[in-house]
Amino acid sequence: MEKYLPLGSIVLLENGVKKIMIYGRKQSAVKTNETYDYVACLYPEGNINDEFTYLFNHSDIREVIHTGYSDEDEKAFIEYLDTV
C-alpha cells in the first residue's frame, strides 16, 4: 500500500466503527501543530463541522474500503509531498 491514499478514499481506522473519507493530506492540528498524514470526514455524511474532523496517520488505517481517483496530477502531488 502507498504511503498516501488519493482524495476520496474511504477507510476504517483501527478500533473504528464508522467509515471516513479522506479529503486532505499532510495536515497539521491547530492546537498542537502536530502533522498527520490525513484529514477525513464521516462517510457518507461528509464535512459537518470541526467536531467531526479526523486527523490520522497511514499506520492507523485498518482497512481501505475504496481507493479514490488517481491520475498524473495525483502522482506528481504525492512526489511533492514526499519532499516537504
Check residues 60 and 79 and name the one with the higher pLDDT: 60
CB 75 within 8 A of CB 22: no
b/e 29-48 (16+ beta carbons within 10 angstroms → b): eeeeeeebbbbbbebeeeee
56 belongs to a structural domain: yes
CA-to-CA separations, 41 to 15, 64, 80, in angstroms, rounded: 16, 15, 24
Dist. CA 17–CA 22, nearest whole Å: 16
2 belongs to a structural domain: no
Q: Which three cell numbers stand for residue 14?
A: 483501527
61 belongs to a structural domain: yes
pLDDT band at 1 (very low <50, low <70, confident <90, very high): very low
48 belongs to a structural domain: yes
Question: What percentage of the chain has pLDDT greater than the value 70?
Answer: 98
Number of domains in the chain: 1
Query: Residue 38 belongs to what H/E stretch?
Result: strand 35-42
45 belongs to a structural domain: yes
Q: What is the pTM of this model?
A: 0.90
Tell me the mean pLDDT in the region 9-24: 96
Per-residue pLDDT, 2: 60
Range of 70's domain? Answer: 10-81
Judged against a pLDDT cut of 90, whether residue 18 lies above it is answered with yes
